[in-house]
Structure 1
């Protein structure tokens, strides 16, 4: 019996010895591939069955990017990728060293590569992400001067930067019917930007205009480059159960502000940044104590303004949607951490709730939410307009909310017809709204002086 047991153990160990190399040789499959062109980078994503060992390096003359994948087999088809809008001309691949795979991207110009791996999420499994960063294009797109839009009165517009959350490989939350947060919030952000642009005295800027991802810090940097008066990040909430519902508004918490102050003080490149936009205070040349005081003051003012505009937006949202919480909530969201720009995050609803998923998929409902958000923004700035803006000039000259009404242009409207209905003149409407001619567009909101 002992001899038989020994033979069985020996046979078992031989079998395991044979099986382990076969398992190791099985390798990892590349099962899918996607590409996401963005203004300053292109993201290539490889769907892999598990974590993968890889190397990435760039070559010049001609420009190429090489991706070496260890113990990997290609099951995806690179030829089916749409490479338009990207710096990639062609993708080639071939086995290497027996079990490895080499992927070569023929490029239109040199790029800076960056790679990392992502864990599975609701939509995808393991992924290898390769970013192709266009440093030349990024530098060319950096505005040399902050965005300043002047109207007919020579007064600047209020700049509102609208940020659609997630994007590209990051779908955000996914509803029971498969609705993706990134799609819903992009559509809503575009609608909100259109409403802002249609109102005299305002200009909207979008952080992203398509389906691509921008990291959180870059979103706030874009707001600073545009010299924004307000940053609004649009999201859709989710929970592990379908019951929670309602819209929310968030501002930065004091705890988040404290950590951000420390981060700014630790990074020397922030010292030359301005606090409070153009004409503000620079941290350059300040000692840590003084710089810390300046940052704390700026952060406190920014959070107070954020709470004010958030409360105004929440008041308007409550008239068109159920609210998840009655007051503005505070959290340490990275996207809200600009020390000199009031910033709010609007959760349009719970996409994990079947009814709210259906609502958020509706253009009509998103329009209602966008109108409510903009009315809240306008309510706040009518009361506290930034100096030098058209709204500040109107308030100073007695043309604030108490002496005006608003009218949204509908199909078939003319400026002369609107003037006649409101017992005023075309020339007065043009002057009051900073219009260069009597043409108006459907959806445009104009201000009408009280008769």
Structure 2
């Protein structure tokens, strides 16, 4: 033991001690400046300097490990062309190099955790020199060009079930559903916030109680495009059932909800937006309100069904499934006609194996990641108008039963010929599950 102990201690001392990590680089270019945000694990310690010929900004992050892929090329900034790594001056540091088109005024500052984001280092680059002729060729007739406004983020409301005096299901190992749902929800929020163009909000971020109806109201106030309610199942007296499932609102409950909303005239503007302004307080006009709410609910349930199917596909890769397709049920948290909603049962706390998995931070992270992938896949194919996702040059659509080229062309505001050209199709025949690139209109 005396022979190998000194060498072992020396090996331990020589190991790199990473105090921090670089998880993501996000870039927002505008005509006036380019903002670069470094998402890091904890508050960063850093130094920086500029270089000329060519122009570069060098940032050294102390005791930091790279947890993303670099280099990152930037195609829509007037100042920044690439973010890459370089050999650090000291061991254990991470050196980033921002390649610039010309000299720039540099401002750096740190931000602490807030609004679902972690610690960040923000770099603002503002042009204060002339663009090199090699970078931008002079135009013979300069014209003022206003860049298109950046599309808004898609808002995903995450609803951790139960909370406060309502523990939900309790496993045999005394694992509380309210704690499991909150842990998974927080991990899902982090995963979604890493996706450019998506922002996650929470109906609750601590252990307190919220009524079922109030949860949808919170999502509406935060202008959510989607509500995902997280739960864990349980069956009294049986330990056999296990696995995840996804639930959507059934027809009978949807009809009862619509009738309730029609009677509450003061909430029509909240649910129908500008359409409510043309609906008068007459019986005939109430039929119009009901028709509009019916259409809104049908759309929300259809979106929930599609997203639920994608969630089950991703969940099947990380956990056992209890149900292979979205199941209809009368659930109060899913009754918002204007917000597509799903309820995800992540497993059975009444099953010892599921209870152990659900209490594992690693398994919670895998479930959250699966849900985030499903949401990204759906909104990449069917982005709401005006969002950053809708501004992407190309989208991917997974062919479902009933799809046709003409219907897809109308849906995505493009042409049949453009879709066929983008995918090398020589006929109008589509296969279920086939992935199609949808060109921009």
TM-score range, shorter chain: 0.5 to 0.7
2:26 corresponds in structure 1 to: none
Q: CA deviation at 1:256?
A: 1.2
Q: Once the two structures are superposed, what CA deviation does each residue of 1:373-413 show, in whole Å capped at 9, x if it has no partner? A: 1111111111101111111110xx23x359xxxxxxxxxxx
Residue correspondence of structure 1 range 216-295 to structure 2 within 5 A: 216-240=212-236, 241-275=238-272, 285=280, 287-295=285-293
SS at the partner of 2:235? coil
1:448 corresponds in structure 2 to: none
Residue correspondence of structure 1 range 50-449 to structure 2 within 5 A: 154-240=150-236, 241-275=238-272, 285=280, 287-394=285-392, 397-398=393-394, 400=395
Seen in structure 2, the aligned counterparts of structure 1 residues 291 and 388 have a Cα distance that, compared at 3 Å, is same
- Runs of 4 or more above 4 Å deviation: 278-284
Q: Once the two structures are superposed, what CA deviation does each residue of 1:256-277 show, in whole Å capped at 9, x if it has no partner? A: 11000011112232222133xx
Seen in structure 2, the aligned counterparts of structure 1 residues 355 and 207 have a Cα distance that, compared at 3 Å, is same
Distance 1:302 1:255 in 2: 15
Distance 1:285 1:225 in 2: 25
Runs of 5+ consecutive residues of structure 1 not aligned to the other structure: 1-151, 403-451
Seen in structure 2, the aligned counterparts of structure 1 residues 323 and 280 have a Cα distance that, compared at 3 Å, is farther
Distance 2:150 2:348 in 1: 43
1:439 corresponds in structure 2 to: none
- Given that 1:309 and 1:377 are in contact with CA atoms closer than 8 Å, whether structure 2 keeps it comes out as yes
2:144 corresponds in structure 1 to: none
What's the TM-score, normalizing by structure 2? 0.54
Distance 2:271 2:295 in 1: 13
2:120 corresponds in structure 1 to: none
1:138 corresponds in structure 2 to: none
Runs of 5+ consecutive residues of structure 2 not aligned to the other structure: 1-147, 398-441
Seen in structure 2, the aligned counterparts of structure 1 residues 323 and 186 have a Cα distance that, compared at 3 Å, is same
Q: Once the two structures are superposed, what CA deviation does each residue of 1:410-430 show, in whole Å capped at 9, x if it has no partner? A: xxxxxxxxxxxxxxxxxxxxx
Q: CA deviation at 1:155?
A: 0.8
* RMSD across aligned positions (CA): 1.7
Distance 1:298 1:198 in 2: 30
Count residues with an aligned counterpart: 246
- Given that 1:274 and 1:282 are in contact with CA atoms closer than 8 Å, whether structure 2 keeps it comes out as no
Seen in structure 2, the aligned counterparts of structure 1 residues 290 and 165 have a Cα distance that, compared at 3 Å, is same
Distance 1:342 1:225 in 2: 15
Distance 1:271 1:283 in 2: 11
- Given that 2:279 and 2:288 are in contact with CA atoms closer than 8 Å, whether structure 1 keeps it comes out as no
- Given that 1:159 and 1:205 are in contact with CA atoms closer than 8 Å, whether structure 2 keeps it comes out as yes
What's the TM-score, normalizing by structure 1? 0.53
Q: Once the two structures are superposed, what CA deviation does each residue of 1:329-370 show, in whole Å capped at 9, x if it has no partner? A: 011101000011100000000011001000000000000000
